[in-house]
């Protein structure tokens, strides 16, 4: 075998190996791109979930300010957390609905409440029932910051 023949044979072997090497490198790059996209999706989902949690914390603070939530603020909360139906398992959308309905119920009870300085109550007014509804609502809302944290924890825990 001559020297030029050996070089030619060596080049042919290298050319034969070049295609599988290129394929392996392309596969590695595709895998890395897939992992980057997967992490980006997880991060985007985390940010969207965090936004819903922040809205929950915000409305809880708003309600506990004077325990007289404004209907417009409750509607804003409902709109701001509407995406929750698609980001969480059913327990969180149910919790979001419960916050809204309990806030509305508390507001209605506050509006019905009559004290000694109020005009005479309407017929059928049950003062003790209204007071109990207010106390129950206020107690529920005071407990919610910790409850919300526990409910959202599995969706926002990042130490995985």
* Domain locations along the chain: 49-156
How high is the pLDDT of residue 7?
A: 66
Q: Do 134 and 110 form a contact (C-beta atoms < 8 A)?
A: yes
Q: How many CB atoms lie within 10 A of CB 59?
A: 25
pLDDT of residue 27: 85
Number of Cβ within 10 Å of residue 63's Cβ equals: 26
Q: What is the pLDDT of residue 22?
A: 82
Alpha carbons 53 and 79: distance in angstroms, whole number: 13
User: Nearest Cα to 9, choosing from 17, 20, 24, 22?
Assistant: 17
**Residue 69 DSSP code:** -
How far apart CA 114 and CA 110 sit, in angstroms, is 9
Q: Over range 48-64, report the average pLDDT.
A: 98
Q: 57-98: per-residue pLDDT in tens?
A: 999 999 999 999 999 999 999 999 999 999 999 999 999 999
Q: Which of 17-21, 24-28, 51-55 has the highest mean pLDDT?
A: 51-55
Residue 160 has what pLDDT? 56
Record the pTM: 0.79
Weakest mean pLDDT among 29-38, 49-58, 93-102, 110-119:
29-38
* Residue 81: HSE in the Cβ half-sphere, 13 Å Cα cutoff: 25
């Amino acid at each position: 075998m001559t020297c030029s023949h050996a070089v030619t044979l060596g080049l042919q072997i290298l050319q034969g190996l070049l295609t599988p090497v290129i394929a392996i490198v392309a596969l590695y790059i595709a895998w890395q791109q897939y992992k980057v996209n997967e992490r980006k999706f997880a991060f985007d989902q985390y940010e969207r979930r965090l936004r819903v949690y922040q809205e929950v914390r915000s409305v809880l603070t708003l309600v506990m300010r004077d325990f007289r939530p404004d209907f417009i603020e409750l509607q804003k909360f409902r709109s701001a957390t509407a995406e929750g139906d698609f980001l969480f398992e059913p327990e969180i959308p149910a919790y979001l609905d419960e916050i809204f309905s309990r806030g509305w119920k508390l507001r209605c009870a506050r509006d019905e409440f009559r004290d000694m300085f109020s005009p005479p109550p309407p017929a059928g007014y049950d003062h003790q029932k209204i007071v109990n509804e207010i106390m129950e609502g206020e107690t529920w809302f005071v407990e919610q910051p910790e409850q919300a944290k526990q409910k959202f924890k599995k969706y926002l825990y990042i130490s995985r």
